[in-house]
Amino acid sequence: MAKARTAYVCSECGADFNKWQGQCGACGAWDTLSEIVLESAAAAKSPASRRSGWAGKVDAPKVTALKDVRHHEDARVTTGIGEFDRVLGGGLVEGAVVLVGGDPGIGKSTLLLQAVAQMAATLPGLYVTGEESLAQVAGRAARLGLPVDGVNALAETGVERILEHAAALQPKLIIADSIQTLWTESLTAAPGSVSQVRESAARLVRYAKETGAAVFLVGHVTKEGGIAGPRVLEHMVDAVLYFEGDSGSRFRVLRAFKNRFGAVNELGVFAMGEKGLKEVPNPSAIFLSGGSARQPGSCVMVTREGTRPLLVEVQALVDSSPLSNPRRVAVGLEGNRLAMLLAVLHRHGGVAVGDQDVFVNVVGGIRVQETAADLPVLLAVLSSLRDQPLADKTVAFGEVGLSGEIRPIPNGEERLKEAATHGFKRAIVPKANAPKGGSYKGMEVIAVERLVDALDAA
Ligand code: TYD
Ligand code: MG
């Protein structure tokens, strides 16, 4: 057998190097390179007998005209959970490898156990648990009242043994819970280390591509928000889904961060309850803090995450600061953007908050990444500063430019429709997004071109 080759991999960005060095040459991080053993070519080869897809045999690799390649758009299997299907891009695809990340205790194991049980009739599944005992998994399935016929479970962390069992059992769906507990004999590094996680994941990815079985990898997220250590995993898999949510709230949001088979930023919303995760098919209502009397410092916006509009509430608290360098804190929004917006508010809106602490939060633990939040953020800040609530049943959206202009955002009409459906009466929107006539389905639409107009309207 050929001598094992080694490489040095950065745990931050996943770049490979031939030699160890103190600083990663790609991303500049210090002391992040660790050694991994690369498999010899012989070991990487797999027996052709393992090849069989959901839709029958998969041929050995050969050059083929692209137009002749058999492809199956309909080879999606529903997970039995509508919101999960939505995030996956309309169901699970044959041979897909999906990384599900999130904080410990957020509900990753629960969701995947529910999914594997619901899919068992169409896709016989193998639930590999490296964290819980088989009795714990079975106990949870029983408590949740899940149909477990056709679901096999395995308490094992060695990838070689997992693949042996898989080869014998031929499951069409494998859940690896979690990838951080898996290890391969070909490496001496400890389980959970970058090299082990990367190599274990690589084996499972290869298995999925060869056999057409779908694989879910569960990954714990570090405090910084990355999937523990290996960002590398994000490049290797077809889709990366993150579970987000307030620890205090029972609502959970599953977001597609990367998806080769669907829209990114697509959200699935769930509520954690007695019987596990229940889908919330109409999530707009839950992200509003409730209470019909509006409070100062609150503005409802219509965001569009993935392919669906969503009403969320942005809250701001502006308070005189004892610090010489007042605080700007954004939760669920980008911090730098908040600082920029406050500068625009001063320069073009004539509202100074330089001596104030400014805290901005998106209700419900949801993260809003789009610029449509700019205008709602500033309206919430102004409302808090003046200690006056916005008019009742008002929504807003729009991007704020550095010269104080309000710029249009995509899918304006769809957002207005969502607001009208939920009983809103007034909308403050960019001029280019406003319908002619100043109203939409009985809702007054105030078109604004400049930040000052928007502040006047509010
Ligand atoms: P779990 O799926 O084990 O989280 P993860 O795999 O992401 O670490 O979820 C565990 C949490 O969910 C735990 O705090 C208990 C809660 N839970 C419920 O509230 N109801 C339920 O029916 C289940 C199964 C769990
Ligand atoms: Mg778990």
Sign of the four-CA dihedral 260, 264, 268, 269? positive
Exposure on the CB side of residue 196, measured as CA atoms within 13 A: 20
Q: What is the predicted pLDDT for the residue at 412?
A: 93
Q: Is 139 in the pocket of ligand 1 (CB under 6 A)?
A: no
The bound ligand whose nearest atom lies closest to the alpha carbon of 102 is: 1
Query: For residue 181, which ligand has an atom nearest its CA?
Result: 2
Write down the pLDDT at residue 138.
95
SS (H, E, C) 132-182: CCHHHHHHHHHHCCCCCCCEEEEECCEHHHHHHHHHHHCCCEEEEECHHHC
Between the CA of 60 and the centroid of ligand 1 the distance, in Å, is 42
> What ipTM is given for this predicted complex?
0.95
Ligand 1 touching residue 219 (CB < 6 A): no
pLDDT at res. 4: 63
Q: Name the closest-CA residue to atom 13, ligand 1.
A: 105
- Which ligand 1 atom is nearest residue 112's CA? 2
Ligand nearest to the CA of 277: 1
- Asked if residue 245 has its Cβ within 6 Å of ligand 1, the reply is no
Ligand nearest to the CA of 111: 1
Domain 77-281, architecture per CATH: 3-Layer(aba) Sandwich (3.40)
CATH annotation of 286-457: 3.30.230.10
Answer whether 429's CB lies under 8 Å from 327's CB.
no
Where in the chain are the domains? 1-38, 77-281, 286-457
409 is in an annotated binding site: no
- Ligand 1 midpoint to CA 111 (Å): 9
CA distances from 438 to 414, 442, 446, 449 (A): 16, 10, 6, 14
For residue 442, what are its two tokens?
């009985």
DSSP strands (E only) in 321-407: 328-331, 356-362, 394-396, 399-400, 406-407
Predicted confidence at residue 174, as pLDDT, reads 96
- What residues in the chain have per-residue pLDDT under 70? 1-4, 37-60, 71-74, 222-231, 289-293
**Residue 53 C-alpha to ligand 2 middle, in angstroms?**
28
Give the pLDDT score at 118.
92
Q: Which residues contact 435 (CB under 8 A, 6 or more apart)?
A: 413, 416, 445
Ligand-binding site membership of 108 (annotated)? yes
pTM of the shown model: 0.78
Residue with tokens 């991303």: 27
Cα of 104 to ligand 2 centre, how many Å?
7
**Ligand 2 center to residue 233 CA distance, Å?**
18
Residue nearest to atom 12 of ligand 1 (CA): 107
What's the gap between Cα 70 and its chain centre?
A: 31
Does ligand 1 have an atom closer than 6 angstroms to the CB of 104? yes
For residue 156, how far is its CA from the centre of ligand 1 (angstroms)?
21
Q: Please give the pLDDT value at position 175.
A: 96
Q: What pLDDT does residue 47 have? A: 46
CA of 247 relative to ligand 1 center, distance in Å:
11
Q: Cβ(439) to ligand 1 under 6 A? A: no
Determine if ligand 1 sits within 6 Å of the CB of residue 101. no
Establish whether 104 is an annotated binding residue: yes
